[in-house]
Amino acid sequence: MNARFLLGALVLGVASVSLAQSGSLSLPPTFVAGSAFSLPTTGSGKAVFYIVGPGQALRRDVDLGEPVSFPAGTLYNAGHYVAILSSGASTETGQFDVVPAAQPEKISFLAKPSRLPVGLHNGISGAAYIFDAYHNLILKPLPVSFELSNQSSTVQARTVTTRNGVAWTEMDSATKQGSAKFVARVGDISSTRVIAEVPGDPCRLVMTARPDGKNVELQTAPLRDCGGNPVPDGTIVTFTESYNGMQSTVDAPLKQGIAKVEMPAYNGARISVASGVVAGNEIRWNGR
């Protein structure tokens, strides 16, 4: 409806393009990007009509007195244009702007980061750029709704009006790990990004030891962060055994939630465990 009105207004409202001898070149101040338009001319004889603008240059041979028609999609880049009518020795110039269509057709949605720890205030940012069908940024204010949802948390939603074609917001990461859907929507078009909300540092690192022949088998309890989320497999846990001025270390990855290693069993050895900057418990091995 809106586009039809604009097209009608454009066709009805076109000014005439006339020869230098019979008047000045006058054009409407704006056209809508991609719309069809027609420019009546006055006078007689042959002339050449040029339109030069951002990324586009058009040339038409015209019969003066006949209208010059441009089908839909001819001028599609928003910006400032110059029109030139050249007939023999006389040249007339005029200027006009092509503005984006009012109807949004596409959202470019930048969501950062793609992965972050749980429970982070304003840790997720989203910026939506609203474009028309010809990839022109729509500068007119438009309401954009943002929605962040994770299966195990409440939905966060807010609406932001675009300024200069952009709307942005910040959201908190959920307290439970998982993939969150971050959606930006304007009108009936939307764009979705997936944010991985991952566990934080281990909150409590506890290992147990039991004899296994000449070795001691060390095993951590299932590792969880302070929100109760299981720390992902592959996380490195460092076991250190000190005895009689010597030391043994193993960097073992978590597998199925636990880290397990075997180290030589020395009575009186001190065995400690850590993961990153988080230290766990210490065991003094006495053979049991």
For other proteins, the binding residues in 206-235 under the rule CB under 8 A are 232-235
Nearer to other proteins (CB atom), residue 143 or residue 264: 264
Which candidate, 167, 159, 158, 160, places its Cα nearest to that of 139? 167
Cα atoms in the 13 Å half-sphere on the side-chain side of 100: 19
- At residue 111, the 3 state secondary structure works out as strand
252 sits near other proteins (criterion: CB under 8 A): yes
Q: Which stretch binds other proteins (CB under 8 A): 28-36, 47-55, 90-98, 188-196?
A: 188-196
Rounded Cα distance between 21 and 44, Å, is 11
285 sits near other proteins (criterion: CB under 8 A): no
Rounded Cα distance between 53 and 80, Å, is 6
201 sits near other proteins (criterion: CB under 8 A): yes
Candidate residues 81, 129, 146, 285; the one interacting with other proteins per rule CB under 8 A: 129
Q: Do 56 and 31 form a contact (C-beta atoms < 8 A)?
A: no
204 sits near other proteins (criterion: CB under 8 A): no
Shortest spacing between CB 52 and other proteins, in angstroms: 27
CA distances from 180 to 34, 123, 170, 177, 214 (A): 37, 13, 14, 9, 48
Q: Do 132 and 94 form a contact (C-beta atoms < 8 A)?
A: no
111 sits near other proteins (criterion: CB under 8 A): yes
Nearer to other proteins (CB atom), residue 51 or residue 237: 237
Candidate residues 228, 276, 279, 284; the one interacting with other proteins per rule CB under 8 A: 276
Shortest spacing between CB 201 and other proteins, in angstroms: 8
24 sits near other proteins (criterion: CB under 8 A): no
125 sits near other proteins (criterion: CB under 8 A): no
